[in-house]
Structure 1
């Protein structure tokens, strides 16, 4: 059957050939091309201005190259994504001919046979699918060269814009070819890469608010899409093996030529190629240094801060034995930021503050990074400036404000530039670094706010400067040059940072939802998260107690105080997440057999109880309430300065709602304490060893702060009630959630006990508000019992945006 299949296929191609064979006349080929504008380079291509078409000349069929797409001009919405300069897929591809067609084929490098045996290689290639990305018609050919029309390919939705808009629930959009065209200004050719750019328009019906906020006409969205054809690097690059303790991202594939006794999956780190001019020297200049270029569109003093922060990495490369191997400059006019040959730090604007990220283009075969591409959100620095303004409240009548706010914001920007460049060097996040004395810029840093001797806010050490000690170890692992025994030297580097007491913990173990690591957190400070929560809560209380009109400039609407208040009121929000992970938490590492890393160890009982107490303390009416003088200042919004996503939401219409703010804050704590995974962990720990706090200890402390405590007077009474209601809701949620049967049983038992207590208390009170609160709680429980399967945790008003407090991520 196989022979018959190929015979029939060959006959079909042969039968079609006479009608489809394009002209092979030399004069016809050259005459046609003479009417077009020629772009010489990696792939010669031609522009037909009359028809608006691009023709590509393909000479070496079957030769692999790298295909990359970008968004050259984006939407400007953090929520949707699709930012300016966003790098899309990078794939190894090749052109192959089948009769009158040229196919653009992506081989499957995820499954290989690294072998000299051609049949072994063929067997793997035929076992796994390839992808044909596009098909082209041969327009002309001559002496082994074929001409294809790639216009439709360049005008397609290569970046998946329409799918992104659909997933974001912003609307259903389709590409409109009549409003799309080549963008010649950024269509260029170089020796090792051919660059194409198109103006792409999508038409549709908007259904989301985000698309309306950034598009001048939301039914018509126009972006620019960039395509790069890139020559693959030579085979002189030496890949470096991946180790989960090294801090690097990995490129993996399955090698079916591997001996049975060895792992099938091969893993390599992503890194740039860096070689010494003098490999024998302990310190040497690089053959080609790693150079990054900063966007000319970044204003001063931002541009200088970006250059300074990114340049910190040279400290680490010096530790790896290089002299001036990492350099940063302003992007010259002669360089296109999307050119594959240049690493860039791009200054990206959006309608709202949002993430920054570091990405790269790499050779999928080896992990060699060919281009680092950093995108930094321009509004991030304004958020840090706002935080500093709220802390310092500098606008006192008759006094000129200092430069402290700007200094703090720029300090954060330097750290952010270093962080995102670190990703483009191949590095993961290291969220354990804050507990190791700021050992890595690859952590997410919360500003380190201190109180001076006079009790005033001190921001002089808000953010660290320079590369951390762990970063130096990581760069040594990835970039040091070894004359021999590479595996042994790499192990020595890991053993050294272990011996020095540093830690590396990445994203999946640090995230708050379901996370259990005791020291790896986002936006935290300090060796002990619970102790830091107590300290930060005291600073928050001081700031709120003195918060005044000095937080805004003279002439600003007094209602603008609310936006400055937001990050002050929620100053503790990320430290809550960190402290909660101590409850049922563990200390653990990415240990390998034979290394010096410790085995997993539970967080000790005393620390867990301290964390519970610190968390429960954030539920008190005193903590959640605002001082009367501040409530008097917070006025309704004025025309032209309405509520935004950075404002408090309200249940009281146009006025500020202190109870809603308190409920939002309390929910931050309760949703962390009552995570099903956390409840099951503390239950298991308590069963293993009774000295560890279990469900009983947790609920005792929560109830002592809420349902069992006396009601205060004034507004604090309602605040206490809304917190109690949230506790009730979370118990209901636990009892019907995807939690374990034990957790559900404990929640149900607690609910029954609590309702009995409420019923008893209702008989003893004469306060009409408290009586109404109790009666309503009992009715809610009765309704829950009737249809428990229909229960959904009622949401509070959503708090103003928090993360990114300063930012992230390798597309976390």
Structure 2
């Protein structure tokens, strides 16, 4: 997962004020411990005060927060070493006060004409973040001196707002239980670092804070506040191209010519200069170095180092020798310090996402600091899935299976480290890379699972080793340097060549919503043929479930945990189901600029759409949804002192496993994607242009009517549960008011015709009669019907 952090662009015009050194007045700092640097720091440990000496007013700098001491909840997101949103600030004098002002960088004029610059600055409001009384008013006496303790010990990271936004209650900062940590105040030539202990008091009613905090009514964190000198000149900024695979910084620039877009964007990248700029291959002036958290244990540490170092291959291929390194952080290194690119091993109360990103100079796109946060429980989830697939703990299992499961988890960690470091280097997700195999670490990879001759699951080579061709491309496109006159042509050649290899680029905006259209932009899918991979995963799933009961649970775990371990195996096909559904009403298109892109969209061919629809019907087959008798017999309620978590199936059967909930969740895998209103709207228009495409009627008949028409005396409750989920989803689609009027009318017509069909079934078919009455009541008087909520699907990602 990538986290972007930038400020808007800025032009430093006419700044003649130098960062000259001046001695602070002895009367104001008498008895205090002093440090000189970018901002002078004076500390009084007994009174927990920090005075700062500012060497230049009206001089922009970067202010960044971080959390060296965090909350520990994945759902809240206040993680250890998490960087806050950077702000471009400067100190200004107002009478006897010193103001800290945040520039409004959303709108600028990037011009050498000062009046043009000021016209944009004056048009949009700035923000005064803090003020303090000046302790000296004569610049000849030394730096502008001010007590900054109240700023350091304030909620600059936005903790209160974050807690409220995730419904954890209203909190206030308790000044009596907060204060500056004076021993952490440091001044360096290009940055100054401060830290505070912050205690927030509140009701403590939120479930997430109750789960993670010692006392949810009193949340105590440590906040770091950094002031950073902006980089000097000499960095060649690179215009962002939508097909580059990178992420951008920028803003609205009113200095652009009338025939140019006001939206100006730059590629985010580190400063990387060859010692010999004329050489095709050269060592570099300053390599990019990332430091891995010393708190990372083995064997995780070795796996993360190996995976993150894969990027060395890409930089070497681009002609940069020894340009990228990953090392264990030296003892005492502060991972939140903006001088260091950091990979933090982050503990949370539950399994959660990892992410990478950067703090960027808004004027140019230069990455000042890269950061990566890796959730520590994720590897345990991968191990749990592998053990369930392999039945590694069966009494007669080969002991090597447990090692094979561990090997999968460590292989996934290598991929994860490379993935998140890729974001920190300036690169975005490419969810289409899986169509060419495991072609990029910037995709979300699904493990490669095979079956041996006896039908047993094999995980011999679950993930690719090393970076892919796409990763080599994004490094070359972002970091290779060319003569100015040749840059545009050289970059266009790189984009042409990677496309010629069969790679497409689909990122987050076109990949995460249930109704997304691009067939290649799917998370956690596998293989070049979605339908073939789907059918293979159903076979793998059946094989794993047949051996699950006897081999999925380690001997030292409470018996109720078997149910939790069932979830990812029963729903093993969840991501490939989305890949199949994406073909229905799907359309291909590319990112680019008007001068070099292929314009327009191209609907997925009709035969592929029909094949996808039939594949979804196989996901709804009773034999797919029903659990083996061996699994049902082994499932046990959680032991005393233990309870179900959101990672279990829900239950309406008290302490016992609820098979209906498992059936409903597996059914909802299909409906949440196939019945996305955007998909049905697109499909209706595609079919109106090309009659061979699936129609709305066909979708309804295959996914709703046909299952209801099935007869059988086995697994009757599974069949009935599935049918009601399908009908509920079909009705809920109307309640959302997102269908085109013409699509809504046709869908209602199919429902009304289906109600008549159900009503004509024998009276002994109670479900059919009730279904018919529900449809008619809802269509005629929807305000009189309370539709059932759609089933809860336990979280699956990240894997």
Which TM-score applies when normalising by structure 1? Answer: 0.92
Q: Are residues 1:70 and 2:91 paired?
A: no
Q: Are residues 1:669 and 2:670 paired?
A: yes
Please name the residue that 2:50 is paired with. Answer: 54
* Distance in 1 (alpha carbons) for counterparts of 2:411 and 2:305: 12
Give the deviation of 1:600 after TM superposition: 2.3
Contact map agreement 1:172 1:204 (CA 8 A) in 2: yes
Contact map agreement 2:756 2:772 (CA 8 A) in 1: no
CA offsets 1:239-258 (integer angstroms, 9 cap, x no match): 11100000111112233222
Give the deviation of 1:569 after TM superposition: 0.4
Q: Are residues 1:794 and 2:788 paired?
A: yes
Please name the residue that 2:504 is paired with. Answer: 503
Q: Secondary structure at the match of 1:139?
A: coil
CA offsets 1:55-84 (integer angstroms, 9 cap, x no match): 111121112211101122111111111111
* Distance in 2 (alpha carbons) for counterparts of 1:80 and 1:569: 28
* Distance in 1 (alpha carbons) for counterparts of 2:638 and 2:272: 56
Q: Are residues 1:717 and 2:713 paired?
A: no
Q: Secondary structure at the match of 2:620?
A: coil
Give the deviation of 1:145 after TM superposition: 2.2
CA offsets 1:478-517 (integer angstroms, 9 cap, x no match): 1012134222211121122122221111111112422011
Q: Secondary structure at the match of 2:382?
A: helix
* Distance in 2 (alpha carbons) for counterparts of 1:449 and 1:728: 34
Give the deviation of 1:598 after TM superposition: 7.2
* Distance in 1 (alpha carbons) for counterparts of 2:439 and 2:464: 10
Give the deviation of 1:794 after TM superposition: 2.3
Residues 514, 703 of structure 1: CA spacing in aligned structure 2 closer, same or farther, 3 A cutoff?
Answer: closer
Please name the residue that 1:729 is paired with. Answer: 728
Residues 221, 684 of structure 1: CA spacing in aligned structure 2 closer, same or farther, 3 A cutoff?
Answer: same
Contact map agreement 2:342 2:372 (CA 8 A) in 1: yes
CA offsets 1:767-810 (integer angstroms, 9 cap, x no match): xxx32x234324433542464157665224523221112xxxxx
Q: Are residues 1:434 and 2:441 paired?
A: no
Q: Are residues 1:339 and 2:337 paired?
A: yes
* Distance in 1 (alpha carbons) for counterparts of 2:631 and 2:90: 66
Q: Secondary structure at the match of 2:439?
A: coil
Q: 1:273 aligns with which of 253, 271, 276?
A: 271
* Distance in 2 (alpha carbons) for counterparts of 1:416 and 1:226: 27
Please name the residue that 1:18 is paired with. Answer: none
* Distance in 2 (alpha carbons) for counterparts of 1:317 and 1:555: 46
Q: How does 1:351-500 map to 2 (within 5 A)?
A: 351-397=349-395, 400-402=399-401, 403-484=403-484, 485-500=486-501
Q: Secondary structure at the match of 2:657?
A: coil
Please name the residue that 1:19 is paired with. Answer: none
Contact map agreement 2:777 2:785 (CA 8 A) in 1: no
* Distance in 2 (alpha carbons) for counterparts of 1:111 and 1:640: 56
* Distance in 2 (alpha carbons) for counterparts of 1:160 and 1:27: 35
Contact map agreement 1:358 1:421 (CA 8 A) in 2: yes
* Distance in 2 (alpha carbons) for counterparts of 1:705 and 1:383: 37
Q: How does 1:527-606 map to 2 (within 5 A)?
A: 527-595=528-596, 597=598, 599-606=600-607
Worse-matched range after superposition: 131-140 or 198-207: 131-140
Q: 2:35 aligns with which of 16, 32, 39?
A: 39
Residues 555, 466 of structure 1: CA spacing in aligned structure 2 closer, same or farther, 3 A cutoff?
Answer: closer
Give the deviation of 1:599 after TM superposition: 4.6
Give the deviation of 1:646 after TM superposition: 2.2
| CA RMSD between the two structures | 1.9
Q: How does 1:142-291 map to 2 (within 5 A)?
A: 142=138, 143=140, 145-291=143-289
Contact map agreement 1:192 1:231 (CA 8 A) in 2: yes
* Distance in 2 (alpha carbons) for counterparts of 1:611 and 1:375: 37
Give the deviation of 1:422 after TM superposition: 0.4
Contact map agreement 2:103 2:127 (CA 8 A) in 1: yes
Please name the residue that 2:4 is paired with. Answer: none
CA offsets 1:617-675 (integer angstroms, 9 cap, x no match): 11122111111122111122221332222222212111111121101110121121111
CA offsets 1:419-476 (integer angstroms, 9 cap, x no match): 0000011111000000022221111111111112342212122111111101111110
Residues 793, 478 of structure 1: CA spacing in aligned structure 2 closer, same or farther, 3 A cutoff?
Answer: farther
Q: Secondary structure at the match of 2:461?
A: coil
Please name the residue that 1:96 is paired with. Answer: 92
* Distance in 1 (alpha carbons) for counterparts of 2:747 and 2:785: 14
Q: Give ranges in structure 2 of 5+ residues lacking alignment.
A: 1-21
Q: Secondary structure at the match of 2:227?
A: strand
Worse-matched range after superposition: 107-116 or 143-152: 107-116
Worse-matched range after superposition: 702-711 or 60-69: 702-711
Give the deviation of 1:28 after TM superposition: 10
Give the deviation of 1:605 after TM superposition: 0.8
Q: Secondary structure at the match of 1:415?
A: helix
Contact map agreement 1:676 1:743 (CA 8 A) in 2: no
Q: Secondary structure at the match of 1:135?
A: strand
Please name the residue that 1:4 is paired with. Answer: none
* Distance in 2 (alpha carbons) for counterparts of 1:32 and 1:678: 68
Q: Secondary structure at the match of 1:316?
A: helix
Q: How does 1:571-720 map to 2 (within 5 A)?
A: 571-595=572-596, 597=598, 599-703=600-704, 705-713=706-714, 716-720=715-719
Please name the residue that 1:15 is paired with. Answer: none
Q: Secondary structure at the match of 2:136?
A: strand
Q: Are residues 1:750 and 2:750 paired?
A: yes
Contact map agreement 2:307 2:418 (CA 8 A) in 1: yes
Give the deviation of 1:401 after TM superposition: 4.3
* Distance in 2 (alpha carbons) for counterparts of 1:671 and 1:502: 28
Residues 783, 339 of structure 1: CA spacing in aligned structure 2 closer, same or farther, 3 A cutoff?
Answer: same
Please name the residue that 1:7 is paired with. Answer: none
* Distance in 2 (alpha carbons) for counterparts of 1:640 and 1:133: 48
Contact map agreement 2:184 2:195 (CA 8 A) in 1: yes
Q: Secondary structure at the match of 1:370?
A: strand
Q: 2:82 aligns with which of 86, 90, 104?
A: 86
Contact map agreement 2:50 2:182 (CA 8 A) in 1: no
